[in-house]
Amino acid sequence: MKLVVAVIRKEKLNDVLASLFENDIHGITVSHVQGHGGETEKVETYRGLTVKMELTEKIRLDIAVTDPFVERTVKSILKTARTGEVGDGKVFVLPIEKAYRIRTGEEDAEAVTPVLSTL
Amino acid sequence: MKLVVAVIRKEKLNDVLASLFENDIHGITVSHVQGHGGETEKVETYRGLTVKMELTEKIRLDIAVTDPFVERTVKSILKTARTGEVGDGKVFVLPIEKAYRIRTGEEDAEAVTPVLSTL
Amino acid sequence: MKLVVAVIRKEKLNDVLASLFENDIHGITVSHVQGHGGETEKVETYRGLTVKMELTEKIRLDIAVTDPFVERTVKSILKTARTGEVGDGKVFVLPIEKAYRIRTGEEDAEAVTPVLSTL
Amino acid sequence: MNKYSLSLGLMLFGVAFAQGQDPATISWMLVSSAFVFFMVVGLAFFYGGLVRRKNALNTMMMSFVSLGIVGITWSVIGYSLAYADGNRFLGGFGYFMLNNVGLEGEGIPTILDFVFQGTFAIITVALISGAVVERMRFSAYMMFITIWSVLIYAPMAHWVWYLGGDGGWFKNLLGGEALDFAGGTVVHINAAVAALVLAFMIGKRQDFGKKAMLPHQVPFTLLGAGILWFGWFGFNGGSAYAADAKAALAMANSLLAPAATIVVWATLDYFRAGKVTAVGLATAIVVGLVAITPAAGFVTPMSAIIIGIIATFPCYFFINWRAHSSLDDSLDVFGAHGLGGITGALLTGIFATNFGDPEAATGGLNQFLIQFVAVVIAAAFSGVGTFLIASLVKLVLPLRSDDKIEAQGLDVAMHGEEGYSDGEGALLIPVSSSKKAALVAGQVVSS
Amino acid sequence: MNKYSLSLGLMLFGVAFAQGQDPATISWMLVSSAFVFFMVVGLAFFYGGLVRRKNALNTMMMSFVSLGIVGITWSVIGYSLAYADGNRFLGGFGYFMLNNVGLEGEGIPTILDFVFQGTFAIITVALISGAVVERMRFSAYMMFITIWSVLIYAPMAHWVWYLGGDGGWFKNLLGGEALDFAGGTVVHINAAVAALVLAFMIGKRQDFGKKAMLPHQVPFTLLGAGILWFGWFGFNGGSAYAADAKAALAMANSLLAPAATIVVWATLDYFRAGKVTAVGLATAIVVGLVAITPAAGFVTPMSAIIIGIIATFPCYFFINWRAHSSLDDSLDVFGAHGLGGITGALLTGIFATNFGDPEAATGGLNQFLIQFVAVVIAAAFSGVGTFLIASLVKLVLPLRSDDKIEAQGLDVAMHGEEGYSDGEGALLIPVSSSKKAALVAGQVVSS
Amino acid sequence: MNKYSLSLGLMLFGVAFAQGQDPATISWMLVSSAFVFFMVVGLAFFYGGLVRRKNALNTMMMSFVSLGIVGITWSVIGYSLAYADGNRFLGGFGYFMLNNVGLEGEGIPTILDFVFQGTFAIITVALISGAVVERMRFSAYMMFITIWSVLIYAPMAHWVWYLGGDGGWFKNLLGGEALDFAGGTVVHINAAVAALVLAFMIGKRQDFGKKAMLPHQVPFTLLGAGILWFGWFGFNGGSAYAADAKAALAMANSLLAPAATIVVWATLDYFRAGKVTAVGLATAIVVGLVAITPAAGFVTPMSAIIIGIIATFPCYFFINWRAHSSLDDSLDVFGAHGLGGITGALLTGIFATNFGDPEAATGGLNQFLIQFVAVVIAAAFSGVGTFLIASLVKLVLPLRSDDKIEAQGLDVAMHGEEGYSDGEGALLIPVSSSKKAALVAGQVVSS
Ligand SMILES: Nc1ncnc2c1ncn2[C@@H]1O[C@H](COP(=O)(O)OP(=O)(O)O)[C@@H](O)[C@H]1O
Ligand SMILES: Nc1ncnc2c1ncn2[C@@H]1O[C@H](COP(=O)(O)OP(=O)(O)O)[C@@H](O)[C@H]1O
Ligand SMILES: Nc1ncnc2c1ncn2[C@@H]1O[C@H](COP(=O)(O)OP(=O)(O)O)[C@@H](O)[C@H]1O
């Protein structure tokens, strides 16, 4: 099992989500983060104080998937999150040793297969 | 050493914290995240615009523990965060290669044993 | 490749960023988190309700670096984020199996070397 | 506008003047009405800031919707039951559907009296909501206030302020008039007792006593307190029904009593917790204003300061005790408006002076007793009436939202909205599917 | 202050009175002016809460900057074109640069008329912005409103409210006066049609119809609605130009029409979506107020309630339809102010009564037709004029910000600020480098 | 209420009128007092939005607490020292504890003068806080303003506005009266110099010049600016002490001067940074209002526009320079109120006209010199006085919070609250343990 961690542009979230859903990836955790990379900094000015904003708002996705799903997940993100301009973000793949579903106590692969009955 | 990452319901945070403290787990980092899983979506409506909220507010816990503590931590979370309804969340265990305490520079096991002198 | 995860004091963010930039570490993702450790709790009071705030605002940094950069990154953080009082935070090093740059699809080492052309 | 309406205005003004209408009084009463209106907005923010984020809109809506509902009930029947001729206990139907409520009227046009009094009815009803936030079902709340504004508020306003015939009931109680300058009894005690009863009937929030439920935006509470104070100058000052020295007195007293309460409250806070809290200061403002309300035009400014000081103590200690009790009067409507109002009403019986008018009442043991009896009657009526109305509503609708919704927050469940949002992860439901959905009557997902 | 200025005041008052200036009227008009002024602040928050976080400041600035720009254009030339003597279609230059606008004047000093009318001009212009938020270039907006306030607003105000000579154009239309008590035509229809045209010319937001663009702070929208309603009492009440029964009537109607709209809107919301929404309630407030504006001093309170009820329907259904259409009148300026204003203007032609004044107009088919024609002329003038002015501005400046800026949010790009910030990751640019930078003219990074 | 109080009112009104009290004037002064009161709320939000999130409540509390403290000091002794008979330099004890401050009085009841003037004292004191936010100890602040409001504010008000006997000191300075219509000297220069001195004595914030300390909620700052402007119509308009043409003039000038400042400020911003900033616009509003304050009833509207334009320059460039200097007058009290006030006071000496009243002063070199001397005296008195009072307070309490608290934010440390909270991770301290804790006197964790 892997944890796919992606940092993407804020305005791309909806597109990325849609594409993940299409690829049957339904378990996703989203955080609001700020990023610093090669992007041009914004300059702001408050009553004569000029400041350089080193951080840009970004979205971080954490997606735990079983090994066969990793490629699909990464590809789907790489495709939909791209604009081609500096600042598109990164995808990292981390190893997961163990996963549990809190509701049932199921482990590993079972833990991350969502029940879609309610949809 | 492992990093226990748990995504839980917002309203369960206080209970989970209490149970972790009882189990002598005192080093915890909490983030506000949003999750998508098998939960029923909320539908909202703004001046005739009907929208489906794909994301639900969740809490993410990051807890670095030495190997002997992993089970205790996971069990404590699995027990207290459960409601039995879809959306209870997940627990993931990731490997940590190295840990440091910034204040002292201590490493690994020492780094994550909190000083409780001030309590 | 490693993911350096640091939890630091909020008021130290600017110093840590500056020091990382000096060390040529430019790809950073920042999140606002709350932490519980050995810090003294704040007590608040609202109309006779007395509450103990178990959580303190912290900043979490996620920095993906190639192996040769790990030490530099960790040292730079350990040095600048320290105040010597309980609550300075932790640094964890996690393994990364794969990294991608969304803009170009570059992988691993190339993925995390920022383009600084626009600066 | 401009010259034409001006001449028209002057013509009417001529007519008005002939009838004894005074433009200066009208000017002040117009302003006062707008000020009291604005208090409802202030209350929405005072209350709204104190609840949790997930219930912010629901709490504010409880104030805002009363502008609509009570605005209508007041014009249909409320004003009539309060001010049309009837007996000592209830008005008549003479003003039903605003019949006979027109441009004429002694002193000020009747329609202006209607507006000024209407804003009082609206704010009173909205005050109640503070006791039941974060759990009461919105539809039950709407039904409750519709009935309450007619059956409880209007009669009590009649008792205290009706002047036709022998006057309302409270005009002659134990041989004297129960003094209530601007509504300590009708507005504050009335709303507070209703709040208390409703809080008991609905029960405490699930998290009450278990979790800390902290104010999500204290600045909103300060803004609300500021707007309330501002509007209260019209509430108390306008109750002089003239732009005269009495109005000025009421205004001075409305500045000084809360100022005194702030200082004492801050001192108590400082000794208790080592800190002067902002929520405490906002509460103190309300307590001081409530306490001076029945007395505003009857006491000297120095008495106002003393009333502000005295009223702090019961309210402060009750509110501190309440937080640890099992009584979930969530935003302390009773602690602030009930105890503040009772203290003010009783102290009016002590500090009232007649300012040289031999016919006016002055403070003393007798007046104190009259005030006491008035408080008891008002509290009993409001309490019993509220219980009956809420029981009635309960037959039709559960008063309380279910536990799941309470945990999730009422904003999404009751209003389909979130107070604060960035729209992320929100997928538009496309026209076609939503159109289809719309065909299914009563379905939630529709266009 | 105090006694000196007082005696001075009394002296002037003597003079004023001799000229037929009435202090009570002046008092009410001073207050009304301040109230209408405050509506601009309310509008900034009403609109500001409805947009996304990244455009909050830009949206608010569109209202605030009109206080500056239109304040100046109105004093330089706008007031003159509207109220100085000229012909039926346009005023003259008699008040150019506030010449002859002084302390004298019948009824109230001319300078006070200038202020009161000025606040109307400001709010009208600010209303337009709701249609083009989140994408219009700020500099183009400033240029547009500078011209529009002079060439469109001032003439239309002249048609409706000018009383010299034969009066403005609308004083005699098909043999009768087009009734507009407080500006349904001049303010609301005018702004709404301009908004519609501008929305078409500028095009929809990139995300429109693709993403859900949710209000970032609904409490601000409620606050704005509350302030707007509060201020509207001055808008409608002040349009009586006297502190008389007519003003009181306008005030009562301004309380009751929106109350009725709230109730009906909430009911429709409840049946459609099972929920009473807060944004809906705020919208209902505005719709009710807009609808009663042209009628405020001409109809009975019961008619006001009926107008409030009727106006709900076109606005409610249009706004619901609009969200799914391809028309990005982003904050529904046309749906609320246009349809509300038109409905109100037409219903004024039906419900107007003369209150016993034989010279005043009353409702009927004839009056309805006059109202209809007035609406058509106003809409046509505003539409065509807006199109021409916007086309002109486009020659100089693109009307729309580029796509990248739109995606990033206009606050940072147009104002160099963020609405909400915690300053983290914000590095100060040191003095020396910023000083150097300042030498490079026009460069963005400067001190 | 209603008819009873009405007849009572009419009776009093009869009395009042006999004494020369005019209801229209009273109506306007009541409203004006409420408006100036509201400015304090506006200021709390103007300042509160500009600081960092962790200090939001503390900053707002500095304004709100002055409502309590100065409300009381003003009634105990302040009003007496300012307005009771004494010599040219200080009032007497005739109004001590509101003795002799009653319903009588020429023009308006003395109690109303007390209220109106009291709101001025409150806002002046609150203005000072802008220079020392985010680091001053709250208890020291409370002690400081208690003394300052009595020893500095009251005397200066006496100099400028006392009219008994030979009048206050400034009534005859170099053979003429120093003109100050609504408090440019007493309020703005006075507060600004005090702010400057206090900022120097307390020193800069730890992060000053090191980190970017950005406004945490610019919308609050805009809201505050809007409320300030709204309230200022009462501040300047009410200073006419009559509902007359002079008040209308003051109102027009209070609309136009800031409008002009907005336009010029925006232009400067645009050329400097390519952007019109929202914080800049809010600042411009305040600067324009400050500058017109001393002149409001003395100059023509066109002069008001010119004053608004001229005042922009010193303030704009000073504020821009200040940010890079080592002077941490955190929210630019001196840059806006000091320089704006001085510019306005001096320009009043140039632009004042007598509007046909031969006894009134007019602008010219002589008047300019008088204004200059008045500014110097006021600044010197405020500066020295502030220094002495702050030194005195320092003997008892440190003026400044310690560094750890400053880093953590003053809200939690000084008020035990957070401005914005979702209550997560907040554990209730159970009743029993808190009860026990309460027994330990002075302990922080108590019930
Ligand atoms: N090494 C890194 N570790 C963690 N996050 C990174 C790293 N590099 C970039 N990021 C995140 O990705 C975002 C975009 O990266 P950037 O280098 O600007 O763009 P690009 O990948 O297009 O060159 C940054 O804002 C930051 O949040
Ligand atoms: N594969 C996953 N990776 C990351 N987070 C997940 C994953 N699956 C679920 N989550 C998180 O857990 C939450 C609950 O998951 P869900 O599948 O709805 O519930 P349950 O585990 O009860 O079936 C989600 O909202 C999301 O935040
Ligand atoms: N075991 C842990 N896992 C995750 N985060 C931790 C852990 N221990 C501490 N932290 C984070 O580090 C912060 C500071 O830790 P603390 O133990 O208080 O300080 P110190 O390291 O100086 O002893 C905490 O607020 C928490 O956010």
CA atoms within 13 A on the CB side of F123: 32
* Length of chain E as a residue count: 447
What integer is the mean pLDDT of D270-282?
94
Q: State pLDDT tens for residues F213-267.
A: 999 999 999 999 999 999 999 999 999 999 999 999 999 999 999 999 999 999 9
Taking the C-alpha atoms of residue C43 and residue C20, their distance in angstroms, rounded to an integer, is: 35
- Supply the pLDDT for residue F437: 39
Q: State pLDDT tens for residues F134-144.
A: 999 999 999 99
Residues with CB under 6 A from ligand 2: A 27-29, 62-64, 101, 103, 112, 114-115; B 7, 35-39, 56, 58, 86-90
What integer is the mean pLDDT of E22-49?
97
Instruction: Say if residues D182 and D296 touch (Cβ distance below 8 Å).
Output: yes
- Supply the pLDDT for residue C116: 53
Quote the percentage of chain E above a pLDDT of 70: 92
One-character DSSP codes across F311-343: HHHHHHHHHHHHTTSS---TT-HIIIIIHHHHH
Label residue F119 by pLDDT band (50, 70, 90).
very high
Measured from the alpha carbon of residue B53, the closest ligand is: 2
Q: Which tops the pLDDT comparison, A94 or D174?
A: A94
Q: Which helix (H) or strand (E) holds D159?
A: helix D154-161
One-character DSSP codes across F63-119: HHHHHHHHHHHIIIIIHHHHHSS--SS---STTGGGTT-SS--SBS-HHHHHHHHHH
- Supply the pLDDT for residue F431: 53
What are the CB-based long-range contacts (under 8 Å, 24+) for E439-446?
A: E442/F271, E442/F274, E444/A43, E444/F273, E444/F274, E445/A43, E445/A50, E445/A52, E446/A50, E446/F272, E446/F273
Out of A44, A47, A50, whose CB is closest to F332?
A47
Instruction: Report the mean per-residue pLDDT for chain E.
Output: 91
Chain D, nearest residue to A61 by Cα? D425
For B40, which DSSP code? P
- pTM as predicted: 0.95
Taking the C-alpha atoms of residue F93 and residue F78, their distance in angstroms, rounded to an integer, is: 10
Q: State pLDDT tens for residues B12-48.
A: 998 999 999 999 999 999 999 999 988 777 888 888 8
Taking the C-alpha atoms of residue D236 and residue D256, their distance in angstroms, rounded to an integer, is: 13
Residue from D223, D222, D252, D221 nearest D236 by CA:
D252
For D51, which DSSP code? S
Ligand 1 mean position, distance from CA A53 (Å): 15
Instruction: Say if residues F75 and F142 touch (Cβ distance below 8 Å).
Output: no
Measured from the alpha carbon of residue B103, the closest ligand is: 3
Around Cβ E14, how many Cβ atoms within 10 Å?
11
Taking the C-alpha atoms of residue F280 and residue F215, their distance in angstroms, rounded to an integer, is: 12
* Length of chain B as a residue count: 119
Q: Which tops the pLDDT comparison, E199 or A15?
A: E199
- Supply the pLDDT for residue E3: 38
Does B43 contact D426 at a Cβ distance shorter than 8 Å? Answer: no
Taking the C-alpha atoms of residue D268 and residue D279, their distance in angstroms, rounded to an integer, is: 14
Around Cβ D85, how many Cβ atoms within 10 Å?
13
Out of A54, A55, A84, whose CB is closest to C103?
A84
Quote the percentage of chain D above a pLDDT of 70: 92
Which tokens go with F128?
Answer: 């000072």
Q: Which tops the pLDDT comparison, E168 or E432?
A: E168
User: Which has the minimum average pLDDT: B90-104, D4-18, D254-268?
Assistant: D4-18
Out of B10, B14, B59, whose CB is closest to F427?
B14
Is the pLDDT at C101 greater than 50? The verdict is yes
Which distant-in-sequence residues (6+ apart) come within 8 Å of D365 by Cβ? none
Taking contacts as CB-CB distances below 8 angstroms, the residues of chain D near F149 are none
For D210, which DSSP code? T
Residue from F153, F116, F128, F126 nearest F36 by CA:
F116
Is the pLDDT at D17 greater than 70? The verdict is no
- Residue C34 CB less than 6 A away from ligand 1: no
Measured from the alpha carbon of residue A63, the closest ligand is: 2
Does E323 contact B44 at a Cβ distance shorter than 8 Å? Answer: no
Taking the C-alpha atoms of residue E377 and residue E172, their distance in angstroms, rounded to an integer, is: 13
Quote the percentage of chain F above a pLDDT of 90: 84
Measured from the alpha carbon of residue B111, the closest ligand is: 3
Which distant-in-sequence residues (6+ apart) come within 8 Å of F338 by Cβ? F188, F189, F192, F193, F195, F196
Taking the C-alpha atoms of residue D175 and residue D79, their distance in angstroms, rounded to an integer, is: 27
CA dist list (Å): E160 to E63, E290, E355, F410: 24, 17, 21, 56
Is the pLDDT at A113 greater than 80? The verdict is no
Q: Give the rounded distance of the alpha carbon of D422 from its chain centre.
A: 34
One-character DSSP codes across B64-97: EE-HHHHHHHHHHHHHHS--SSTT--EEEEEE-S
One-character DSSP codes across A42-110: EEEEETTEEEEE--EEEEEEEEEE-HHHHHHHHHHHHHHS--SSTT--EEEEEE-SEEEETTT--BHHH
Instruction: Say if residues F130 and F333 touch (Cβ distance below 8 Å).
Output: yes
Ramachandran angles phi, psi of B32, nearest 5°: -90, 120
Label residue B4 by pLDDT band (50, 70, 90).
very high
Q: State pLDDT tens for residues E398-410.
A: 999 999 999 989 9
Instruction: Report the mean per-residue pLDDT for chain A.
Output: 90
Instruction: Report the mean per-residue pLDDT for chain D.
Output: 91
Instruction: Report the mean per-residue pLDDT for chain F.
Output: 91
What integer is the mean pLDDT of E327-356?
97
Residue with tokens 């007619």: D150
- Residue A89 CB less than 6 A away from ligand 1: yes
For B35, which DSSP code? E
Vertex F365 angle, CA F168 and F189, to 5°: 50
Does E427 contact C59 at a Cβ distance shorter than 8 Å? Answer: no
Chain E, nearest residue to F226 by Cα? E41
Instruction: Say if residues E343 and E369 touch (Cβ distance below 8 Å).
Output: no
Is the pLDDT at D220 greater than 90? The verdict is yes
Label residue E166 by pLDDT band (50, 70, 90).
confident
Taking the C-alpha atoms of residue E23 and residue E15, their distance in angstroms, rounded to an integer, is: 11
Mutate to test the pocket of ligand 3, among B2, B4, B28 (most ligand atoms within 8 A of CB): B28
- Supply the pLDDT for residue B116: 53
Residue from E6, E155, E18 nearest E88 by CA:
E155
Which tokens go with E104?
Answer: 């004298």
Ligand 3 mean position, distance from CA C55 (Å): 11
Query: Hey, which residues 56-85 in chain B have their CB within 8 Å of chain A?
Result: 58, 60, 74, 77-78, 81-85
Residue from A99, E285, E358, F5 nearest D179 by CA:
F5
CA dist list (Å): E121 to D3, D353, E79, E130: 18, 49, 9, 16
Instruction: Say if residues D108 and E251 touch (Cβ distance below 8 Å).
Output: no
Does B54 contact D425 at a Cβ distance shorter than 8 Å? Answer: yes
Instruction: Say if residues F177 and F370 touch (Cβ distance below 8 Å).
Output: yes
What integer is the mean pLDDT of D289-305?
98
Q: Which tops the pLDDT comparison, D428 or D305?
A: D305
Is the pLDDT at D83 greater than 60? The verdict is yes
* Length of chain C as a residue count: 119
Taking the C-alpha atoms of residue E406 and residue E426, their distance in angstroms, rounded to an integer, is: 22
Is the pLDDT at F10 greater than 50? The verdict is no
Residue from D78, D141, D150, D193 nearest D390 by CA:
D141
Q: Which of C8, C12, C33, C57 would best serve as a mutation to test chain B binding (most B beta carbons within 10 A)?
A: C33
Interface of F to B at Cβ within 8 Å reads: 424-427
Out of F415, F421, F447, whose CB is closest to D320?
F447
What integer is the mean pLDDT of E13-27?
69
- Residue C64 CB less than 6 A away from ligand 1: yes
- Supply the pLDDT for residue F257: 98
Does D214 contact F444 at a Cβ distance shorter than 8 Å? Answer: no
- State which ligand 3 atom lies nearest to the alpha carbon of B112: 1
Q: State pLDDT tens for residues F28-56.
A: 999 999 999 999 999 999 999 999 999 99
Burial class (CB in 10 A: 0-12, 13-18, 19+), F36: buried
- Supply the pLDDT for residue F426: 81
Q: SS3 sequence, chain E?
A: CHHHHHHHHHHHHHHHHHCCECHHHHHHHHHHHHHHHHHHHHHHHHHHHHCCHHHHHHHHHHHHHHHHHHHHHHHHHHHHHHHCCCCCCCCCCCCHHHCCCCCCCCECCHHHHHHHHHHHHHHHHHHHHHHCCCCECHHHHHHHHHHHHHHHHHHHHHHHHCCCCCCCHHHCECCECCCCCCCHHHHHHHHHHHHHHHHHHHCCCCCCCCCCCCCCEHHHHHHHHHHHHHHHHHHHHHCCCCCCHHHHHHHHHHHHHHHHHHHHHHHHHHHHHCCCCHHHHHHHHHHHHHHHHHHCCCCCHHHHHHHHHHHHHHHHHHHHHHCCCCCCCCCCHHHHHHHHHHHHHHHHHHHCCCCCCCCCCCCCHHHHHHHHHHHHHHHHHHHHHHHHHHHHHHHHCCCECCHHHHHHCHHHHHHCCCCECCCCCEEECCHHHHHHHHHCCCCCCCC
- Supply the pLDDT for residue B114: 66
Label residue E436 by pLDDT band (50, 70, 90).
very low
- Supply the pLDDT for residue E317: 97
- Supply the pLDDT for residue F356: 85
Residue with tokens 């003479």: D94
Is the pLDDT at D265 greater than 90? The verdict is yes
- Residue C60 CB less than 6 A away from ligand 3: no
Is the pLDDT at D52 greater than 50? The verdict is yes
CA atoms within 13 A on the CB side of E444: 14
One-character DSSP codes across D409-431: -HIIIIIS--SB---TTEEEPPH
Label residue D19 by pLDDT band (50, 70, 90).
low
- Supply the pLDDT for residue E1: 35
Does B78 contact A100 at a Cβ distance shorter than 8 Å? Answer: yes
What 3-state DSSP class applies to A36?
A: strand
Around Cβ E94, how many Cβ atoms within 10 Å?
15
Ligand 1 mean position, distance from CA A90 (Å): 6
CA dihedral of E213, E218, E224, E230, whole degrees rounded to 10: 140
Is the pLDDT at F444 greater than 50? The verdict is no
Does E219 contact D38 at a Cβ distance shorter than 8 Å? Answer: no
Q: Which tops the pLDDT comparison, D222 or C52?
A: D222
What integer is the mean pLDDT of D107-118?
96
Which tokens go with F91?
Answer: 């009032």
- Residue C108 CB less than 6 A away from ligand 1: no
Mutate to test the pocket of ligand 3, among C90, C91, C92 (most ligand atoms within 8 A of CB): C90
- Supply the pLDDT for residue F435: 43
Chain F touched by D411 (CB under 8 Å):
no
Q: State pLDDT tens for residues A22-37.
A: 999 999 999 999 999 8
- Residue C101 CB less than 6 A away from ligand 1: yes
Q: Which of E30, E103, E110 would best serve as a mutation to test chain F binding (most F beta carbons within 10 A)?
A: E30
What integer is the mean pLDDT of E115-141?
98
Residue with tokens 């912010």: D56
Q: State pLDDT tens for residues C20-60.
A: 999 999 999 999 999 998 877 788 888 888 888 889 999 99
User: Which has the minimum average pLDDT: C37-51, E47-61, F107-121?
Assistant: C37-51
Q: State pLDDT tens for residues E247-290.
A: 999 999 999 999 999 999 999 999 988 899 999 999 999 999 99
Atom 9 of ligand 2, residue of closest alpha carbon: A27
What 3-state DSSP class applies to D254?
A: helix
